[in-house]
Amino acid sequence: MSRKLSIGVSVALILIGAVSLMFTFVGAVFGFRVWQLWPLIVIAAGLAFVLPPLLVRDRRGLGGLFIPGMPILTNGVILLFTSVTGWWGAWEWLWPLEVTGVALGFVFAAIKMRVVWLLIPAIIVGANGILLQFCAITGWWAVWAVAWAIEPLSVGLALLAVNLKQRSAGLTVAGVAVCAVAVVGAIESLAIVAMAVIFPVWWLWRFVAPVTLILVGIGLLVWGVIRRVPTIPLAAK
């Protein structure tokens, strides 16, 4: 164990002890008991994963510890909040934060390990986490009738994000195509839902996927035709 890691673990233990002591005094005033601080064990487990890649800079492989560490840490913070307050019903609104924690774990791992491909699951999981959080807070779960497009859209955006580093024409075409499918599909779904409110024409749903594919195919065909192909100088032939 390196010196920096030893110092980091020591500081983490001191902080957890200080927080426990603070809650002990506060609990004596507001009436909660020390046993309600048991989620600090989960937080400590999360810190055990998160601290090594933060403290040891010359080992990129440790960045993978962020992926399990961030959701464990997030889970511990939520547990601490609900245990201290006694408001266990808050899980109904807070549980999507664990999904967001997984996404943050992939983001931090990508930065630490310098692996741009980890941004793909980070963006996909993160987009779902944000949408789930919105639905959990508002209760508007019916928006998935249109919000399903977040799945292909997040994939397309992830491919385009990776392309910023890789500079690949294939990634560009794939990212644009998937994003186009998502946008066109979302527009069609929104239109059909709006029409279904006025006219009960649910049978139109069966045409959404084929029409979406046709429109995206036409768009890519037009883009491929009008795109300028770089010319090769005669001297280079």
Average of per-residue pLDDT across 148-175: 83
- Candidate from 38-52, 100-114, 143-157 with smallest mean pLDDT: 143-157
Q: State pLDDT tens for residues 194-205.
A: 655 555 555 555
Rg, Å, the chain Cα set: 25
The pTM score is: 0.68
- pLDDT at residue 27 tops 90: no
Per the CB < 8 A criterion, the answer to whether 56 and 2 are in contact is yes
With a pLDDT cut of 70, the percent of the chain lying above it is 70
> Coil, strand or helix: which one is 2?
coil
CA distance 98 to 100: 5
> Coil, strand or helix: which one is 167?
coil
CA distance 2 to 233: 57
**Sign of the C-alpha dihedral computed for residues 194, 139, 145 and 107 taken in this order:** positive
Cβ-defined contacts of 173-181 (< 8 Å, 24+)? 173/220, 176/220, 176/223, 177/216, 177/220, 178/152, 178/153, 179/152, 179/153, 180/156, 180/215, 180/216, 180/219, 180/220, 181/152, 181/156, 181/212, 181/213, 181/216
Per the CB < 8 A criterion, the answer to whether 208 and 188 are in contact is yes
Mean pLDDT of the chain: 78
Average of per-residue pLDDT across 155-159: 87
Per the CB < 8 A criterion, the answer to whether 79 and 133 are in contact is no
Residue 30: the pLDDT is: 55
User: Count of residues for the chain?
Assistant: 237
Q: State pLDDT tens for residues 80-116.
A: 889 888 888 899 999 999 999 999 999 999 999 999 8
Closest CA to 78 of 65, 96, 105, 102: 96
Average of per-residue pLDDT across 204-219: 65
